[in-house]
Amino acid sequence: MTEAQWFREAVVYQIYPRSFQDSNGDGIGDVPGIIARLDYLKTLGVDVVWLSPIYTSPQDDNGYDIADYEDIDPTFGTLADVDELIAQAHERGIRIVMDLVVNHTSDEHPWFVESRSSKDNPKRDWYWWRPAREGHETGAPGAEPTNWESFFSGPAWELDEATGEYYLHLFSRKQPDLNWENPEVREAVYAMMRWWLDRGIDGFRMDVINMISKVTALRDGQPIPGNPHLGDGTPHFLNGPRIHEYLHEMHAAVFEGRAEKLLTVGEMPGVTVEDAVLYTDPERREVDMVFQFEHVGLDHGDHKWDRRTLDLRDLKRSLGRWQDALADVGWNSLYWNNHDQPRAVSRFGSDAPEHRVASAKLLGTVLHLHRGTPYVYQGEELGMTNVPFAAHDDFLDIESVNYYRMAVASGSDAEEVLSALRLGSRDNARSPMQWDASDNAGFTTGSPWSRVNPNHTEINAEAALADEDSVFHHYRRVIELRHTEPAVAHGDFHMLAADHPRLYAFTRAHEGTELLVLANFSGDELPLDDVDGLDLDLDGWKGATLLLGNLGDPAAPTAPLRPWEARVLRR
Ligand code: NOJ
């Protein structure tokens, strides 16, 4: 393996700094808090930490609205704290990857402050400014330059009264989109990225990076039923016409000469497998891997708030297709959780008391045994669950708050909207990390910014570390497997029994070693001998070694799977 592919054997841990560990009692997590927990991460065995944004920010979208790319928000600490974090992480063999949010800035970023100051300001063209739609009175409903809906509800254009023009914001109105058509914007971003790399960080997770190239004609999208003025703009800005050019240019301007030591991952909603091959082909020099969203959309109906039950066959079809498509060229990232997704154990597993531990371990086993770089989101290694939110004012995230307001105002039943939020809100992922059973879960000595899940008295790191059978120790073992068993990082992937509704089974093969992963996604026993399409010589696996299991030794390697049992066999 060349050094360029070190990330194939690596596991990344995502920290959402606000919710990880508070060190100064203000109720919000911070960088010194992260430093204090590096030994915990070392014990877990992860190779890389990705930090969600800690830059100067008015926190309209919890830091994804950046007002100064080259400084740290005082809530989180100082640049000196970050230097210390980098040094201490490196001492433990852990790399640090920073979030890069450059599709948009905060409206409080000096670039935007200048840009909005007058129509002829030199930075006017750094953002997307347009007059009202022809024939419409500025400010009137429907006068926005296009009908695009923002991801956070309502129109994606905001009128700036001072100059009488609208600016584009695909996210909140405090997140104006940068105009990447302008080479000065690109140069400024690249310079900032080099500045961070020179400071010692090891790569970037690039926020919604496949939105930076827009179709410049800015035309209306397909109307969204039920709203006369809103449409779907995504075909005009997802994987846009110049996206590969920009990423390649960024690679040349920022990563050249040091790319082999770094990890770059592009967050790409709506990316297809065909796109992903192009983005991650090492020869093309764009990014190492992408975050795709297909598998986390399978339990959505018409939109993300319209939830339906996941069919395991859809999940296998989807992940299996991604495995096949990137088998020879490119590389996958693997994840169940992040700060935008509800908790995986409550969603793909079972958070019922009798199944939570087994199903959390099963999910970790299945994900980490795929080919690709796995990402663990803080608390996933404890089997943290969704939060029992009661009322609408328990929700704090801008996406949830705006959706609730908009849906109820347009006549939806408030209770139904609340149920949708309980299942799908990003707040589920953002409750404080559960360190121990004390009042605020050991997260803060002050008053936590977001509600601590009451189940922290049982589900917490202190208890997990002390219990060899915990989800934590299972994650530790599964992470270790990637480091010690070459077939886990490098083996070919082959899906089995694709049409079975409860069994997730696949093999990995590498240089004469074969692994078989068997997982029962249900609370009922699952005998293996009559599984259609399992296509396995079960007899040939009877003498196999159990590399890892989540329920203790089975009666035999191919014995019926117990509820939520997962096994990794080797021969
Ligand atoms: C994707 C991030 O993961 C999400 O948290 C954020 O709200 C949007 N991009 C906008 O930056």
Cα(61) to centroid(ligand 1), Å: 8
Residue 347 Cα to chain centre, angstroms: 15
- Segments of the chain scoring below 50 in pLDDT: 1-2
pLDDT at 4: 57
| Annotation says 427 is catalytic | no
pLDDT at 351: 97
Burial 34-70 (b: 16+ CB within 10 A, else e): bbebbebbeebbbbbbbbbbbbbbebbbbbbbbbbbe
pLDDT at 302: 87
Q: Which residues lie with the beta carbon below 6 Å from any ligand 1 atom? A: 61, 64, 101, 171, 207-208, 267, 339-340
For the chain, the distance separating the N- and C-terminal CA atoms, rounded to the nearest angstrom, is: 23
Q: How many Å apart are CA 156 and CA 167, to the nearest integer?
A: 8
Helices (H), 20-169: 31-36, 38-44, 79-91, 110-117
Structure-block tokens of residue 141 = 């409903």
Nearest CA to ligand 1 atom 6: 64
The catalytically annotated residue of 65, 107, 144, 207 is 207
The catalytically annotated residue of 61, 144, 267, 427 is 267
pLDDT at 1: 40
* pTM score, whole prediction: 0.98
> How many Cα atoms sit within 13 Å of 156 on the Cβ side?
25
pLDDT at 539: 84
Q: How many Å apart are CA 152 and CA 401, to the nearest integer?
A: 9
Nearest CA to ligand 1 atom 11: 64
> How many Cα atoms sit within 13 Å of 129 on the Cβ side?
21
Q: 57, 59, 64: which to mutate for ligand 1, most atoms within 8 A of CB?
A: 64
Taking alpha carbons only, the member of 570, 566, 551 closest to residue 368 is: 566
Nearest CA to ligand 1 atom 5: 340
Cα(64) to centroid(ligand 1), Å: 6
Cα(207) to centroid(ligand 1), Å: 6
Q: Which ligand 1 atom sits closest to the C-alpha of 103?
A: 11
Burial 459-496 (b: 16+ CB within 10 A, else e): bbbebbbeeeebbbbbbbbbbebbeebebbbbbebbbb
Nearest CA to ligand 1 atom 2: 207
Nearest CA to ligand 1 atom 8: 64
| Annotation says 351 is catalytic | no
Query: Which amino acid type is present at position 335?
Result: Y
Cα(450) to centroid(ligand 1), Å: 18
pLDDT at 225: 87
Cα(464) to centroid(ligand 1), Å: 31
Q: Which ligand 1 atom sits closest to the C-alpha of 398?
A: 7
Q: How many CB atoms lie within 10 A of CB 155?
A: 24
